[in-house]
């Protein structure tokens, strides 16, 4: 049984048992469930800052190295950056709009907010604009890390990562090698914590079910639909991009990318889908020299649904707790979501969920405690993430081909049988 499946089963079992416990008078069990869930949540939080810093430095270095690979690679990386920032901005627009059209039921929100009381959730009011601007640049990066001030920490780490790319190759490799080793060690620790996730998630879910009742299940379904819907909109944008920017025929693109989408859906891995994406690009008529550069870079660097869906999670939690998000707060989320995506590539879905969303939520002043429950249902939105990323990866190859002056071949290999 896969780890995401184990965690999902633990969530459902905890909620159902908690609902039953509320009717049977098991409130005393909270004296055990709350500490167990809280300790597991603290163990998760313990790994976030060193892992985010290490991944961001190595991600920036990897992006810079890719851009040095020639004109075609530079155009590809530039396109990816534009699309990632656009995705982040769309997440800030689409999610509040979706929640305005279909808000979480008030009774469910109130019940869940009360249910998480055992984890001491505090919703901080947004700071004044002048105070916010002064807080962006850290006077002491170590103090910012100790206080979980992610925005100044990410700014410092980003500038440090960019500065390291300007050193000579030997010194640059020392820095990236050092942070790469830190990232690998932290991923081992995260693996230990996630191995215990069924226990921690069960305890948290039991407490929520006991306090919130059946409202917990409805709220989780609402969350899945909202966040997956944002990712679906980003995914569907691949079709007009391929048609009007990449100049691919719409029907031909849709037919060509379908096999890659099927593999992505079954594997939930962009890397495992790479051979099929190359085949799909061939069917669409993308010249081999463009696809052979663009698609491997896309698998290594590009997760277009990430910024929008990660920001959607943070906005959803704010909505859950009745927190009003100012334009400044949303702009902060857009920036952090776009930047942290560079450190989230090639990671398991649950790890990237934490390393990407915790910094966004913390920078926006949104409670991060609910993420311990939401990670348990991440396997469902992750299907949308993977299929959307693969679809946009293939669409990006048509755009890069056009930017490079390579016209799509009219006789694409649509007849090639699936492997």
Give domain 3-404's CATH architecture: Orthogonal Bundle (1.10)
For residue 215, pLDDT over 90 is answered with no
Q: Which of 215-219, 294-298, 345-349 has the least mean pLDDT?
A: 345-349
Q: Does the structure show a pLDDT above 80 at 344?
A: no
Residue 119 has a pLDDT of: 46
Q: How far is 22 from 19, CA to CA, in rounded Å?
A: 5
Mention every residue, 6+ apart, whose C-beta is less than 8 A from residue 218: 105, 108
What are the pLDDT digits (tens) for 273-288? 999 999 999 999 998 8
pLDDT in tens, 132-175: 666 778 888 888 888 878 888 888 998 999 999 999 989 999 99
pLDDT in tens, 51-72: 889 988 998 888 888 877 677 8
Between CA 58 and CA 180 the distance in angstroms is 6
Per DSSP, the residues of 342-391 read GG-TTS-HHHHHHHHHHHHHHHHT---TTHHHHGGGTHHHHHHHHHHHHH
pLDDT tens string 11-42: 889 989 988 988 888 888 988 888 998 899 88
Q: How confident is the model at residue 380 (pLDDT cuts 50, 70, 90)?
A: confident
Q: Express each pLDDT in 234-262 by its tens digit.
A: 999 999 999 999 999 999 999 999 999 99
| 408 SS3 class | coil
User: Would you state the pLDDT for residue 129?
Assistant: 59
The rounded mean pLDDT for the chain is 85
Q: Which residues contact 392 (CB under 8 A, 6 or more apart)?
A: 83, 234, 235, 237, 238, 241, 302, 304, 305
At residue 242, the pLDDT reads 95
**Which residue in 308, 237, 353, 328 sits closest to 93, CA to CA?**
308
pLDDT recorded at residue 345: 60
Task: Check whether 191 has a pLDDT greater than 80.
Answer: yes
- Region 356-383: what's the mean pLDDT? 87
pLDDT of residue 415: 38
pLDDT-derived band at 130, boundaries 50, 70, 90: low
91's enclosing H/E stretch is helix 71-101
Cα 262 from Cα 387, distance rounded (Å): 8
- Look at 78 and 109; give whichever has higher pLDDT: 78
Would you place residue 414 in the very low, low, confident or very high pLDDT band (cuts 50, 70, 90)? very low
């Amino acid at each position: 049984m896969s780890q995401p499946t184990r965690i999902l089963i633990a969530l459902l079992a905890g909620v159902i048992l908690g609902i039953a416990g509320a009717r049977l008078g098991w409130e005393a069990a909270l004296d055990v469930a709350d500490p167990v869930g809280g300790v597991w949540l603290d163990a998760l939080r313990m790994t976030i800052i060193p892992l985010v810093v290490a991944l961001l430095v190595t991600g920036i270095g990897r992006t810079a190295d890719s851009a040095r690979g020639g004109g075609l690679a530079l155009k590809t990386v530039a396109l990816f950056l534009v699309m990632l920032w656009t995705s982040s901005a769309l997440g800030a627009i689409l999610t509040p709009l979706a929640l305005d059209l279909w808000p979480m039921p008030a009774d469910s929100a109130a019940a869940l907010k009360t249910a998480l009381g055992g984890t001491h959730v505090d919703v901080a009011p947004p700071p004044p604009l002048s105070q916010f601007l002064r807080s962006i640049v850290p006077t002491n990066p170590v103090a910012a890390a100790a206080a979980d001030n992610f925005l100044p920490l990410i700014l410092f780490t980003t500038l440090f990562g960019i500065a390291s790319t300007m050193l000579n190759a030997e010194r640059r490799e020392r820095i990236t090698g050092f942070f790469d080793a830190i990232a690998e060690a932290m991923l081992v620790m995260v693996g230990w914590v996630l191995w215990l996730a069924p226990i921690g998630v069960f305890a948290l879910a039991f407490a929520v079910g006991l306090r919130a009742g059946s409202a917990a299940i409805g709220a989780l379904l609402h969350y899945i639909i909202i966040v997956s819907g944002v990712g679906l909109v980003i995914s569907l944008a691949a079709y007009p991009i391929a048609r009007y920017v990449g100049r691919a025929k719409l029907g031909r693109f849709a037919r060509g990318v379908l096999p890659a989408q099927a593999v992505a859906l079954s594997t939930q891995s962009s890397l495992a889908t790479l051979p099929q994406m190359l085949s799909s690009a061939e069917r669409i008529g993308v010249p081999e020299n463009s696809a052979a550069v663009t698609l491997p870079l896309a698998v290594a660097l590009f997760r277009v649904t990430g910024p929008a869906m990660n920001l959607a999670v943070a906005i959803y939690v704010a909505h859950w707790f009745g927190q009003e998000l100012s334009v400044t707060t949303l702009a902060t989320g857009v920036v952090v979501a776009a930047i942290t995506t560079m450190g989230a590539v090639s990671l398991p879905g649950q790890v990237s969920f934490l390393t990407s969303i915790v910094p966004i939520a913390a920078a926006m002043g949104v409670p991060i405690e609910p993420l311990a429950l939401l990670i348990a249902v991440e396997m469902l939105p992750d299907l949308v993430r993977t299929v959307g990323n693969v679809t946009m990866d293939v669409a990006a190859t048509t755009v890069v081909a056009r930017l490079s002056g390579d016209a799509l071949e009219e006789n694409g290999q649509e007849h090639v049988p699936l492997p």
